[in-house]
Amino acid sequence: MRLVVVGAAGRMGRMLVRAAEEDPACRVVGAVEQPGSLALGEDAGLLAGVGRLSVPITDDPIAAFRSADGVIDFTAPAATRLFAEAAAQAGLVHVIGTTGLSDADLQALRSTAARARIVRSGNMSLGVNLLAGLVRKVARTLGEDWDVEILEMHHRMKVDAPSGTALLLGEAAAEGRGIELRERSVRSRDGHTGKRGAGDIGFATLRGGTVVGEHSVIFAGAGERIELAHRAEDRAIFARGAVKAALWAREKPPGFYSMADVLGLSEL
Ligand SMILES: NC(=O)C1=CN([C@@H]2O[C@H](COP(=O)(O)OP(=O)(O)OC[C@H]3O[C@@H](n4cnc5c(N)ncnc54)[C@H](OP(=O)(O)O)[C@@H]3O)[C@@H](O)[C@H]2O)C=CC1
Ligand SMILES: O=C(O)C1=N[C@H](C(=O)O)C[C@H](O)C1
C-alpha cells in the first residue's frame, strides 16, 4: 500500500514513516509538512532513522496524494479537516490519529466519510482499545454509586486536554452506563466546587517531562476501588496501529471507522 505521512517531521510522523517502512505490505511514497517548516526538502526516511527513502518532505499534499492509496495523519485539528477533504477527493484511505478535535470537526469528518474511508481514533494501540472494552463492561456492571474518574499524564509538549484517549475511555464508561458523556463529564475542578454529582464522569490531567501516555480509569465505590490502567512505553504502538488501520480500511467501503472496528473489539 502506498502511503503518505502528513506531519512527517513530528514526533508521531517520524514513528509513522518507520512503522510503514517496516511493514512489508507498505511503502512511504509521500511526506508532508506545512509551508515554512524547517523540515521541507529533507528526506523523510533519513529524518525517521530508516535510511534514505528518496521521499523529500513537501508542503504540497495534493501532489503527494496523487500517487498514493492512503494517508496517515497525526497533525492538528485544522490540518486534519483539510487533509480529509483532499484525501476524499483523491480516493485515499485516511487514518486520523489527531486529537483535540471539536464536535464540529468530528461532524465534518463524519459527513466526509459518507464518500470516503476514514479510520479515526484517539488511541491506535491494541492495549488502550482493549482497555476501553473492559471499562465499558465494568461500567455496565457497576451502578452509579461507583464514581468514575479518569486520570491521564502526558509529556510537556502536548497541546490538548483531556487527551483523546481519556475521552475515548470516558465514552466507553458512558456507553456502559447508557448515558451521554457530554451531559455528565466534569473536565476540571477548582475552588468551592460542591459535592461530586452522582453519575458524573470526572477527568484529571497531568503534564510533564517525556511521558509517552498514561491513563487510569478509577471506579471508586464505598469502601473499595477498582483501577484499570494503561501505560504506553513507546510511540511505536500507535504508529503500528495506524499502519494496520490503513491496510484494513483499504478493503472496506466508505465509512467512519474506529480502531475497535479494525481490531475486532467493537462488540466488547
Ligand atoms: N491517536 C493516537 O494513537 C495518537 C495520537 N496522537 C496525536 O497526534 C497528534 C500529533 O502529535 P505529535 O506527533 O506528538 O505532535 P507534533 O507537534 O510533534 O507533530 C505534529 C506535526 O504535524 C505538523 N503539522 C501541523 N499542521 C500541519 C499542516 N497543515 N500540514 C502539514 N503538517 C502539519 C506539525 O508541524 P509544525 O510543528 O510546523 O506545527 C508537526 O510536525 C496530536 O494530536 C496527538 O495528540 C499522538 C500519539 C498517538
Ligand atoms: O499527544 C500524545 O502524545 C498522545 N496523544 C494521544 C491522546 O491524546 O490520547 C494518544 C497518546 O496517549 C499520546
Specify the pLDDT at position 268: 84
d(CA 204, CA 176): 20
Per-residue confidence band for 112, with pLDDT thresholds at 50, 70 and 90: very high
Residues in CB range of 240: below 8 A, 6 or more apart: 19, 23, 124
Q: Is residue 197 part of a domain?
A: yes
Specify the pLDDT at position 15: 98
Specify the pLDDT at position 32: 98
In a shared domain, residues 16 and 102: yes
Collapse the DSSP code of 135 into the 3-class scheme (helix H, G, I; strand E, B; otherwise coil) and give the result: helix
Distances in whole angstroms, Cα of residue 22 to Cα of each of 70, 119, 145, 239? 16, 21, 48, 11
Specify the pLDDT at position 208: 98
Q: How many residues does the chain have?
A: 268
Specify the pLDDT at position 233: 98
Q: Is 154 a catalytic residue?
A: yes
Q: Is 192 a catalytic residue?
A: no
Contact yes or no for 254/115 (Cβ under 8 A): yes
On the question of pLDDT at 223 being above 90, the answer is yes
In a shared domain, residues 97 and 9: yes
In a shared domain, residues 79 and 39: yes
Specify the pLDDT at position 196: 97
Residue 82, Cα to own-chain centre: how many angstroms?
Answer: 17
| 213 C-alpha to ligand 2 centroid (Å) | 6
How much is the average pLDDT of 227-256?
98
Task: Note the pLDDT tens digit of each residue in 153-208.
Answer: 999 999 999 999 999 999 999 999 999 999 999 999 999 999 999 999 999 999 99
Q: Is residue 268 part of a domain?
A: no
Specify the pLDDT at position 258: 98
Specify the pLDDT at position 267: 83
On the question of pLDDT at 105 being above 90, the answer is yes
Q: Is residue 182 part of a domain?
A: yes
AA identity, residue 41: G
Q: Is the CB of 164 under 6 A from ligand 2?
A: yes
| Percentage above 90 pLDDT, the chain | 99
Q: Is the CB of 164 under 6 A from ligand 1?
A: yes
Residues in CB range of 3: below 8 A, 6 or more apart: 20, 26, 27, 28, 29, 30, 68, 69, 70, 71, 72, 243, 246
On the question of pLDDT at 124 being above 90, the answer is yes
Collapse the DSSP code of 109 into the 3-class scheme (helix H, G, I; strand E, B; otherwise coil) and give the result: helix
Query: Cell 497533525 identifies what position?
Result: 75
Q: Is residue 176 part of a domain?
A: yes
In a shared domain, residues 219 and 246: no
Q: What is the mean pLDDT of the chain?
A: 98
In a shared domain, residues 150 and 110: no
Does 77 sit behind a cis peptide bond, omega within 30 degrees of 0 on the bond before it? no
In a shared domain, residues 186 and 218: yes
Task: Note the pLDDT tens digit of each residue in 7-45.
Answer: 999 999 999 999 999 999 999 999 999 999 999 999 999
How much is the average pLDDT of 212-227?
98
- Percentages of the chain per state (helix, strand, coil), in multiples of 5: 35, 25, 40
Using alpha carbons, select from 34, 73, 18 the residue that is nearest to residue 235.
Answer: 18
In a shared domain, residues 196 and 252: no
CATH number at residue 221: 3.30.360.10
Q: What are φ and ψ of residue 198, in 5° steps?
A: -60, 135
Cα distance between the two ends of the chain: 30
Specify the pLDDT at position 189: 96
CATH number at residue 115: 3.40.50.720
In a shared domain, residues 71 and 204: no
Q: Is residue 186 part of a domain?
A: yes
Q: Is the CB of 258 under 6 A from ligand 2?
A: no
In a shared domain, residues 27 and 62: yes
Query: Cell 471506579 identifies what position?
Result: 219
Domains in the chain: how many in total? Answer: 2
| Percentage above 70 pLDDT, the chain | 100
Catalytic choice (94, 137, 158, 192)? 158
| 194 C-alpha to ligand 2 centroid (Å) | 31
How much is the average pLDDT of 63-80?
98
In a shared domain, residues 199 and 68: no
Q: Is residue 154 part of a domain?
A: yes
User: Which H or E run contains 237?
Assistant: helix 236-249
Cite the beta strand spans of the chain per DSSP E.
2-6, 27-32, 70-73, 93-96, 117-120, 147-154, 185-186, 201-207, 213-220, 225-232, 255-257
How much is the average pLDDT of 58-75?
98
Residue 69: give the domain boundaries: 2-120+235-263
Per-residue confidence band for 222, with pLDDT thresholds at 50, 70 and 90: very high
Q: What is the ipTM of this complex?
A: 0.99
Q: Ligand 2 pocket check: which of 98, 163, 233, 258 to mutate, most ligand atoms within 8 Å of Cβ? A: 163
In a shared domain, residues 221 and 245: no
Q: Is residue 100 part of a domain?
A: yes
In a shared domain, residues 50 and 112: yes
